[in-house]
Each structure stands twice: as C-alpha cells, then as structure tokens.
Structure 1
Amino acid sequence: MPSFASLAIPALYQTSRQFAPRSLAALRYVQFSSKVGSKPEVVTFEEIDTLVQKKDKDVILIDVREANEVAQGVIPTSRHVPLGNIQEALSLPDKEFEARFGFKKFNKDDEVIFYCRSGKRSGMAFDMAKQLGYNGARNYSGSWLDYEAKAKSPK
C-alpha cells in the first residue's frame, strides 16, 4: 500500500499549480496593479483602443517587432524601435535618438507602452526600460495578435 506522503505530495503540487500565475506578465500585473495612484503595468486592449481612437499624443506606443513584421500591420499611432535596439535606444542622448528613430525621445516618467507580436518581446523591452529607470513603462501583453483579433471583431 502506498504511503500517505506519496499520495499527498502530488495532490498538493497539483493544487498549488492551479493557483500559480500562468505568465510573468500576470505575476507583474498582480504585483504592480495595487500601487496607489499608478496605472497597472499591464495594458488591456480597451486601453489601447481608447488611445488609438483619441490619438493620444501623451502616451507613446512602441512596436518592438522586426521590420518585416511591422510591414504586415501596426497599431495606429505606434512608433517602431526593434527589441534588439531598445537598450541602446533608451540610453541614447535625445537628439541622437530622434535622428535615428524619427521621433522625439520620451522622458523617464512619460507613459510608454511596449508591444510586439504576442507579448514576450514587449515584456523584455518593458523589463529593460524599468531597469533603466523608465517609471512610466507599461506592457501590452496581448500585443499585435490580441489587437488585430479584437479590432476586427464587431463591437
């Protein structure tokens, strides 16, 4: 007959997995969404849709996909800085950034939202920005796939 421990341990492990966050983005959402007076660091489709409809110039939307992916479609109002250039780009002086990427560099406290195809690369860009002191950085974890699917669906 099997021991109690051999039966109980796997059951406890299975139960704990049910309540574990499914992704690092979900964990970040739980950790940071409770800050008083600040926005959650994970952005929803509804927020992105509102930004696009209002053409909000105060929020910078950065697409971190490669150029060939960007050619397939973008979220309106977004700017392009490939993930491979993010760390260097965020460290560039303002004038050099503008000359290289074609738009004015944002400040460390400005709201900046990163997105990619599915959320993985934008999460990496978000992490780099946070490490470099960009306190207004946020991540659209649904990214292009989420936006494309929901923007085309009837409301």
Structure 2
Amino acid sequence: MPSFTSLAIPALYQTSRQFVPRSMAATIRQAQFASKASKPDLVTYEEIDTLIHQGNKNVLLIDVREPGEVAQGVIPTSHHVPLANIQEALALPDKEFEARFGFKKFGKDDEVIFYCRSGRRSGLAFDLARQLGYSGARNYSGSWLDYEAKAKK
C-alpha cells in the first residue's frame, strides 16, 4: 500500500494549481523568463541617454517608424528599419541586410533596442524579434515621444 505522503503530495500539488489565477500564473512565467535574461525587456530613457553618451557600439537602436516620421527627428546613433520591413529584414542574409539598410545585421544574442513614436510599433517589432529567436531584443516603450520630452529638459 502506498504511503500517505506519496498520495497526498501530488493531490495537493494538483489542487493548488487549480486555484492560481491565470494572471498570476502569467506573472510567474514572466518572472521566470526575466530571471534567465540578463536585462529587462523594457528600456528606460536613462538607459537610452547613457547608451548615447557612452557611444556603446555593442547595442543597436532601431527606429521602426515610417520615413516621414523619421524626418521629424531621431534618437542619436539609431538606425532605421520600418516596421513593415522588420520580418523580411530579420530573415535576410547578413550581407544583403547590410546592403539594404546600411548597417551590419545584429546576431540573435546581440542587444538591440526597438523604438517608434509611442511604443506600440516597437512592441510589435520586439515581439516579432523574440519569436524569431532574437533573445537580445528589447523595447523602449516610451519611444520617441518620451525621448524628445526628456531630452529637451
């Protein structure tokens, strides 16, 4: 006959899992994923400002806005790849990517930060990059509006 513990422990585990709200389960999964990553997914203005002033060549800033929006201003050191071209761009071979966009393609583990006008499109670019295995992808959710407002101060 099995011991009480061998019967009770699995039963308790199954019961406790039933009562975890979905939102809490998602939070737990996100925390587990974040603990494996070296940096958080979201980038702050302060990180962007430090990145620009240090001239860190190991981190790429990618502007995913449309060309007309880019003409209004950009974050210094950033490169432009419109959101409409992101999926295609990430699938291009390195040399073809460089010829088309004018900068070296980043690797799947390299840190790359996406930004747009307000954070929505950069979030989409971030999600797509992560789905395609780019583990170093991050998102500046405040994006151009946040940068412009804080850089003026």
Moved over 2 A (4+): 30-34
Number of corresponding residues = 127
Q: Which residue number in structure 2 is paired with residue 88 of structure 1?
A: 88
Q: What is the Cα-based RMSD across aligned positions, in Å?
A: 1.9
Q: Which residue number in structure 2 is paired with residue 79 of structure 1?
A: 79
CA distance in 2, matches of 1:105, 1:36: 24
CA distance in 2, matches of 1:37, 1:82: 26
CA distance in 1, matches of 2:41, 2:113: 9
Greater C-alpha Rg: 2
Alignment of 1:47-86 (within 5 A): 47-86=47-86
Q: CA offsets, 1:91-140, max 9 Å, x none?
A: 00000000000000010000000000000000000001001100000000
> TM-score, length-normalised on structure 2?
0.78
What is the letter of the counterpart of residue 139 of structure 1?
N
CA distance in 2, matches of 1:36, 1:102: 32
Q: CA deviation at 1:38?
A: 1.2
3-state SS of paired residue (1:35): helix
Alignment of 1:3-152 (within 5 A): 31=30, 34-36=34-36, 38-152=38-152
Unpaired runs of 5+ residues, structure 1, are 1-19, 21-26
Q: Which residue number in structure 2 is paired with residue 11 of structure 1?
A: none
3-state SS of paired residue (2:114): strand
Decide whether aligned partners of structure 1 residues 37 and 131 sit closer, same or farther in structure 2, where only a CA change above 3 A counts. closer
CA distance in 2, matches of 1:135, 1:36: 11
Q: CA deviation at 1:37?
A: 5.7
Unpaired runs of 5+ residues, structure 2, are 1-22
CA distance in 2, matches of 1:107, 1:37: 16
Decide whether aligned partners of structure 1 residues 37 and 93 sit closer, same or farther in structure 2, where only a CA change above 3 A counts. closer
